[in-house]
Amino acid sequence: MENSIITLAYPETNQTSLFKDLKGWHVAIRTSEYKELIDWYQQNLDFRLVKEFNAGEMKLAFIAPPGDNNFILEVLGVNENDSSSEVKGGYDHLCFSVANLEKTMESLKSRDIEIVRTFEVPIIGKRVAFIKDPFGNKIEFAEELKM
């Protein structure tokens, strides 16, 4: 087979899926070098700081690529000595935006998928739920908080 360029061809979207409203929103990474990680993405890849906030002891930031408002890298600043943290550094979870979190959770439960936790994050206007896949990877689903 010779080297040729083949464009990526997606199959048709599945409009009958219970999860047809899933859209990629962010990937989260943990680091004990919070400021240095953000600085690296800003200085080397021109990422933009969208929002920075605290959740308890953890510092969080949303950073976005220079030309894309549809993808976020969530930076989770953790204390490297925190023994309660499952992940010390690197990948933490991926997140999908959904139109209706209740409906999504019902659909997950109908497939015997356990909702690990759910809560509101008013500072970013989201309500979220987490599951784990059979391999231990965390997956978050997020909807806009209703006013």
pLDDT of residue 146: 83
Distance, in Å, from the CA atom of 33 to the CA atom of 25, rounded to the nearest integer, reads 23
Q: Is the pLDDT of residue 73 over 80?
A: yes
Left, alpha or beta for 27 (phi > 0: left; psi -120 to 50: alpha)? beta
Q: What is the mean pLDDT of residues 51-58?
A: 92
- What is the model's pLDDT at position 86? 62
The first and second tokens of residue 13, run together, are 């979207």
Strands (E), the chain: 23-31, 48-55, 58-64, 72-77, 90-97, 117-121, 126-132, 138-144
Q: What burial class does residue 110 get, using C-beta atoms within 10 Å of its C-beta: 0-12 exposed, 13-18 middle, 19+ buried?
A: exposed
pLDDT tens string 2-40: 677 777 888 999 999 999 999 999 999 998 899 999 999
Residues 89-145 have pLDDT tens digits of: 788 899 999 999 999 999 999 999 999 999 999 999 999 999 998 878 899 999 999
CA 127 to chain centre: 13
For residue 62, pLDDT beyond 70: yes
Structure-model confidence comparison of residues 110 and 87, the more confident one: 110
Sheet containing 58-64, strands listed edge to edge, beginning at the edge strand earlier in sequence: 48-55, 58-64, 72-77, 23-31, 90-97, 138-144, 126-132, 117-121
pLDDT of amino acid 82: 61
pLDDT grade for 87, boundaries at 50, 70 and 90 = low
Structure tokens at 45: 């890849």
Distance CA(52)–CA(74), nearest Å, equals 10
CATH 3.10.180.10 fits 23-144, yes or no: yes
- Where are the domains positioned within the chain? 23-144
pLDDT of residue 134: 81
Write down the pLDDT at residue 135: 74
For residue 83, the model assigns a pLDDT of 59
Q: Whole-prediction pTM value? A: 0.79
